[in-house]
Structure 1
Amino acid sequence: MFYIQSMEGGNGFGLARIGLPFFLIATAGWTLASSIFIGFSSEISTNSDLAGLAFGINIISSISFGIGG
């Protein structure tokens, strides 16, 4: 965030401002998907539908990082 604010008025500022929300959403999505996968590996959650949800979140987060990163 500080790096983007330091670019204010310079080249790439607009692109960096657009990419920041995608980067933050990707980080939050990867954190959520990782926590679901940790729940599976420790056998806390056994619902197989959550595996598909975790993979979906992970894929969407990867695409979001590709757009904003």
Structure 2
Amino acid sequence: MKNNLTKIRKEKRMTQQDLANALDISRQTIISLEKGKYNPSIILALKIGKFFNVAVEDIFLLEDDDE
């Protein structure tokens, strides 16, 4: 799954650790998400969307999407 997490996080001037702390998850999870090596649970995806105040679809993209 592709994602825009790194871009969105950097636009907010946050480190991976800042985001991990805000979501109460490990920095390693953020690293894995950003590299596309880990697909978030629906709950985590919704938490991330809510935290950044954006739709989940604006962060996480299916690889077969044309966007």
Q: Shorter-normalised TM-score: what interval?
A: under 0.3
Give the greater-gyration-radius structure (CA): 1
Scaled by the length of structure 2, what TM-score is found?
0.27
Which structure is higher in helix share? 1
Scaled by the length of structure 1, what TM-score is found?
0.26
Which structure is higher in strand share? 2
